[in-house]
Amino acid sequence: MDNTTQPTTSGMTGLIEDWVSDKDAFKNVSWGKTMMWIFLLSDTFIFSCFLVGYMSVRMTTDVPWPNTSEVFALTIAGEHIPLILIAIMTFVLITSSGTMAMAVNCGYRRQRKQAAVLMLVTAFFGVCFVGMQAFEWTKLIEEGVRPWGNPMGAPQFGAAFFMITGFHGVHVSIGVIYLTVVALKVLRGDYEERGYEIVEITGLYWHFVDLVWVFIFAFFYLW
């Protein structure tokens, strides 16, 4: 066994060599996955701006901010339960991340039928989420909440709510369509020759949407 060690380059030359060598980590990354990561990075900036803007408005407004535990409460069987719908929506999205992860696993095992079914199940969870969000919007609109006003307190509440949850809901709706189309193509065998990396790329988008909801849930509904 050869115990000799290769000399290492120090100084600025060594720094440049180490930096340049990092390109090897990206040699085998497909263009599709790279483009998805770039898109998700840009989307992260947009959601971050929305959340930072919301927090800035909330901390600077002189009018009391509505109590979200009361605003988003539902009365079920005579019991007033705070945030019950939001909790169910969060549970549905977290569950959908699990089914999407299993779909990716099945895709790389070339179990296309199982992968397609799991993707369709994930899309179904997305439809359930959007349906509950539509109910939530309808309830607040009936209570008089608008983007330009709010009878429960700070008028900025309506603008922040509809902007942040609406933008996220659009992403979930697009994700449902994306999942459904890819799942049907997987089921048909369109990716049999070139592999099922498309399932992972779709999963990246869906996991991102789920992760963003965790931040919305924490900063908007629990704060």
In a domain, 15, yes or no: no
**Residue-wise DSSP of 144-210:** T-BTTB-TTS-THHHHHHHHHHHHHHHHHHHHHHHHHHHHHHHHHTTTTTT-SHHHHHHHHHHHHHH
pLDDT at 6: 47
pTM of the model: 0.86
Question: Does a structural domain hold residue 18?
Answer: no
pLDDT attached to residue 12: 74
**2 located within any domain:** no
Length, in residues, of the chain: 223
What are residue 111's phi and psi, to 5 degrees?
A: -95, 75
Does residue 16 form part of some domain? Answer: no
**57 found inside a domain:** yes
Those residues of the chain that have pLDDT short of 50 are 1, 4-7
Which runs of E-coded beta strand occur in 47-86? 74-76, 79-81
In a domain, 36, yes or no: yes
pLDDT, residue 68, reads 92
pLDDT value at position 146?
A: 93
> Domain holding 140: CATH number?
1.20.120.80
- Tens of pLDDT, residues 138-151: 999 999 999 998 99
Domain assignment of residue 23, yes or no = no
| Total tally of structural domains belonging to the chain | 1
Range of the domain at 217: 30-221
Residue 146 dihedral angles phi and psi, to the nearest 5°: -135, 165
Residue 73 falls inside a structural domain: yes
Q: What is the model's pLDDT at position 5?
A: 46
